Structure 1
Amino acid sequence: MTEMLILVDRHDTETGYAEKMQIHREGRIHRAFSIIIYNSQGEMLLQKRSSSKYHSGGLWTNACCGHPRAGEELLSSAHRRLKEEMGFECILKPLFNFLYIAHLDNHMIEHEFEHVLIGGYDGCIHPDPDEAEDYQWVPVPRIYEGIAQNSEIYTIWFVILMNKLKDHRFSARS
């Protein structure tokens, strides 16, 4: 099945639709999201992307990432992907947005208007092995240490997200 994603301009205004792999080969700006999940101890959930992913396989990243499909609302899409990737649901709230472009492995280009969403969760996690081959709860200071010491083991968007997160004040349960 062809997955049609939402093309946007630099201000996140919808401009049309295109096929997912075409978008990533051509580096066209599209709408995306990253989900940050904290537990009650203040640790962040990280997933290790499946090595079989079409790009950034085997790298550590935030709990869930994805793209709304054509005609799909952002929040609905985020809930769908969190359930598909990590096997759970929780309340998600918008935190901030950013635009980035990055050249990735397999000749892919991410050019995304990224919506960062936040949630809290303490229950069981059941990742889809086609999406995530591992996961862990990590104290945020340890994540920053890891990025400073070896940023190559993390996805590029997660490194950008964590750097932008330093500038935001929020509560994991707010």
Structure 2
Amino acid sequence: MKEENVILVNEADEPIGLMPKMEAHEKAVLHRAFSVFIMNEKGETMLQQRAASKYHSPMLWTNTCCSHQREGESNLEAGKRRLKEEMGFTTELKQLFSFIYKAPFDNGLTEHELDHVMMGVYNGTPNLNPNEVADWKWMALEDIKEDISNNPDCYTAWFKIIFEKFYDYLTLKPDGNES
């Protein structure tokens, strides 16, 4: 299988080229990515446990799905595609916000991404792709926040960064005061 390219971007999210995914992670080059959070009608977030075969962060818990946009693919199209590939279902997504982060891994790779964070609602049971996902669960936002604090080594590096921003987005009013 041919390695996928990632879209290299500047800090304004303007494309400046393509690079093989592994090379971008080896060189810590800024590239476009997305993170999907699926919530149910109870306000719980669907987490996935990455498959044991993943080349980094195997068996760690993370958001519902995340990946990289393909050339010519919108953020929402990419999110829906990857949600179907990893979790086996589709639902409408809306883009919430984007931000840049950098997260190094133990294996020498680094995620340096301009991440587009999206959210959708789903109340069913996913049909997991075992090559991508080992397990899944629903968790309340407060429980995730507490568990990350108590068990940080159980979560992916990027999820700890992204979840904090997602949590703040959902719990703070636009004026900056808690709801």
Q: Does 1:93 align with 2:94?
A: yes
Aligned residue pairs, count: 170
Runs of 4+ in 1 over 6 A off after TM superposition: none
Query: Counterparts of 1:166 and 1:69 in 2: how far apart (Å)?
Result: 27
TM-score by length of 2: 0.91
Q: CA deviation at 1:108?
A: 0.9
Do the aligned partners of residues 130 and 29 (structure 1) sit closer, same or farther apart at CA in structure 2, a change above 3 Å counting? same
* Percent identical: 46
Q: Does 1:107 align with 2:108?
A: yes
Q: Which runs of 5+ in 2 are unaligned?
A: 172-179
Question: Letter of the aligned partner of 2:74 in structure 1?
Answer: E
TM-score by length of 1: 0.94
- Secondary structure of the residue aligned to 1:162 is helix
Question: Letter of the aligned partner of 2:109 in structure 1?
Answer: M
Deviations 1:147-174 (A, max 9, x none): 111111111111111211232247xxxx
Query: Counterparts of 1:169 and 1:35 in 2: how far apart (Å)?
Result: 14
In the alignment, what sits opposite 1:147?
A: 148
Q: CA deviation at 1:41?
A: 1.1
Q: CA deviation at 1:5?
A: 1.2
- Secondary structure of the residue aligned to 1:89 is coil
Q: How does 1:29-40 map to 2 (within 5 A)?
A: 29-40=30-41
Question: Letter of the aligned partner of 1:132 in structure 2?
Answer: V
Q: How does 1:59-78 map to 2 (within 5 A)?
A: 59-78=60-79
Query: Counterparts of 2:154 and 2:141 in 1: how far apart (Å)?
Result: 16
- Secondary structure of the residue aligned to 2:117 is strand
